[in-house]
Chains A and B, each alone.
Chain A
């Protein structure tokens, strides 16, 4: 028994030792952390890539920037990760929140510990962070999607939306904005939104939902999927069936390359996305600027960086005095540029 115990214990120690190869934090300098939404999604990985690139370029030592992909896309997992980062005493945390409210408690604790909070991709309550790196304005995204639906449907007809989960904050904001735009402009009066379906960002469920949309609405012209998993699953269904229904939405070029094209054999004429690598980079620059005191998170602050739209200015979030940094307009991917971008992200 004792022998076996020793074996078990030494295995434990070895695993621990092996995993401790990463260098520790150098406390004499500022340290940074990025918390993405979850592991196992290339979109998050690309954000991390951009973040890491900037950290290296700005000469932050390897132990002083930490990238954490929580084990699952839940607030539970994110709270654990942030707690751990508070213990380690990092100077600045950039986080893509899985829930706008539930992180409040732990972020207040971080703030009390003197940590500066930046959000990217999905915001939290404005009082819990200094600024938000917004990939693109909500109305900007919604407008692009509505125009795409309008264009592909030929100005009239039925369209449906295939979203992620019914709780996804970003998707819900975009869908609400889309509804507002179509309601307010008579140009879109001939477009009818038949259903918002939720594929839960699962392949099988997204496939079921897409097939259900096709079966339920024989006159459907366009499906709009503002989520990377949903759009790929829907594209596969439509393309396999050779359906006349077309697809647009938000997707990763590398995942969608197979499906984008102008002819009948491809299911998606064009779609949009911002560059997640740039979003990660922007979050990194904003973190550094905050830690070095170049910006404080107030509206009107500006900072320069080695990116396309530099210098960036902190603008006000609609209806509040809180600030956000907008990366740029969503980028359009079609048959002319998809091959090139598929290699990038």
Chain B
């Protein structure tokens, strides 16, 4: 039992969960007990479904030691494309549109993967370029117009408040990823590459192929998030979710994913994503002057990252001390 406890407290997820529960309670008190209501928790997941969904792909990318900052560009491009398809009356079939958006994302991701794996381009540069390109393409195809709520009516019922569509997508994605990362050989290969690329190569893993797969999955999720975004907000705008790629990366890092690769879990990512979601949700609720909200958000992110490192160090030291005794 004792060793189990020790094992537990040594985990990043546990320290993060404790911080989060504390924060949740404080916010709940500040809001006069309205924060833990069912609708509020439901809204937390729905409003941040995009970040949560993409953080899964980002987990894979970060595990291989890479990074992808083109995701919101891809999201905007795929979302804008299906928005325009509905606007011009091509189709209103929800399933088909989700499929198209995901396919667009997959292709964008595949291109990233090929350039990074085969072209030996560093991931941040490739995806920086891709970010400019896909975001720009979203603007260009939109012709400076939006697909409005009327254009996407019917389709947007899928992500409407009270419908379970977004939650199902999130749930399925997380379960799939937990299974994949824990029990599939692909998951193990991803960890192997991130821990030591050369060793992985020598042990017979096709590093290039895994890398391509990882970026393709990321792209597919970004495309899916594009479709989901249009559905949840009932609007396709070329500037949607600008800058949110950093939120996704930060959510992963807060969740304990290492940016140098090899370390990180799906559970941690989920916790990091929820942490971010709580911050977003709580800032307007706690009665803070809106002009202060960005500053506070920045401080919270930085503080959590630092606190996490500090607690990790303390736990390591403690565990070490115990071992010496």
A198 at the interface (CB under 8 A from B): yes
Q: In the complex, are the beta carbons of A198 and B153 less than 8 A apart? A: no
| Nearest-Cβ distance from residue B102 to partner chain A, whole angstroms | 21
Residues of B169-222 at the interface with A, using a CB-CB cut-off of 8 Å, are: none
CA distance A39 to B138 in the complex (A): 11
With A197-B290, A203-B235, A203-B240 as contacts: A42 and B146 at CB distance below 8 Å = yes
**B7-15, B89-97, B108-116, B278-286 - the one binding chain A:** B278-286
B318 at the interface (CB under 8 A from A): no
Q: In the complex, are the beta carbons of A42 and B145 less than 8 A apart? A: yes
| Nearest-Cβ distance from residue B224 to partner chain A, whole angstroms | 17
A208 at the interface (CB under 8 A from B): yes
Instruction: Tell me whether chain B's interface is mostly helix, strand or loop, or mixed.
Output: loop
B149 at the interface (CB under 8 A from A): yes
Note all chain A residues with C-beta closer than 8 A to B150: 254, 257-258, 342
CA distance A44 to B237 in the complex (A): 13
With A208-B47, A236-B234, A241-B161 as contacts: A215 and B40 at CB distance below 8 Å = yes
B34 at the interface (CB under 8 A from A): yes
With A197-B290, A204-B241, A258-B150 as contacts: A240 and B161 at CB distance below 8 Å = yes
Note all chain A residues with C-beta closer than 8 A to B284: 197, 208-209, 212-213
With A39-B139, A236-B234, A258-B234 as contacts: A45 and B145 at CB distance below 8 Å = yes
A279 at the interface (CB under 8 A from B): no
CA distance A235 to B31 in the complex (A): 24
Q: In the complex, are the beta carbons of B161 and A237 less than 8 A apart? A: yes
A1-45 vs B: 1/0 string, CB under 8 Å? 000000000000000000000000000000000000001111011
Note all chain B residues with C-beta closer than 8 A to A116: none
Q: In the complex, are the beta carbons of B290 and A198 less than 8 A apart? A: yes
Q: In the complex, are the beta carbons of A45 and B144 less than 8 A apart? A: yes
| Nearest-Cβ distance from residue A45 to partner chain B, whole angstroms | 4
Note all chain B residues with C-beta closer than 8 A to A41: 144, 146, 239
Specify the chain B residue showing the minimal Cβ separation from A214: B39
A174 at the interface (CB under 8 A from B): no
B160 at the interface (CB under 8 A from A): yes
- Between A197, A229, A233, A255, the greatest number of chain B beta carbons within 10 A of the residue's beta carbon is seen for A255
B142 at the interface (CB under 8 A from A): yes
Which one of A207, A216, A252, A257 lies within 8 Å of B47 (CB-CB)?
Answer: A207
With A166-B290, A207-B47 as contacts: A40 and B148 at CB distance below 8 Å = no
Q: In the complex, are the beta carbons of B144 and A40 less than 8 A apart? A: yes
With A241-B161, A254-B150 as contacts: A42 and B281 at CB distance below 8 Å = no
Query: Please, could you name 18 A-B residue pairs with CB atoms under 8 Å apart, sorted by A?
Result: A39-B139, A40-B144, A42-B145, A48-B144, A69-B144, A204-B47, A204-B280, A207-B47, A208-B283, A229-B237, A232-B149, A240-B161, A241-B161, A254-B150, A255-B148, A255-B235, A256-B148, A258-B148
Question: Which B residues form the contact surface with A (CB < 8 A)?
Answer: 31, 34, 37, 40, 43, 47-48, 50, 139, 142-146, 148-150, 153, 160-162, 229, 233-235, 237-241, 244, 280-281, 283-285, 287, 290-291
Question: Which A residues form the contact surface with B (CB < 8 A)?
Answer: 39-42, 44-45, 48, 69, 166, 196-198, 203-205, 207-209, 211-213, 215-216, 229, 232-233, 235-237, 240-241, 252, 254-259, 342
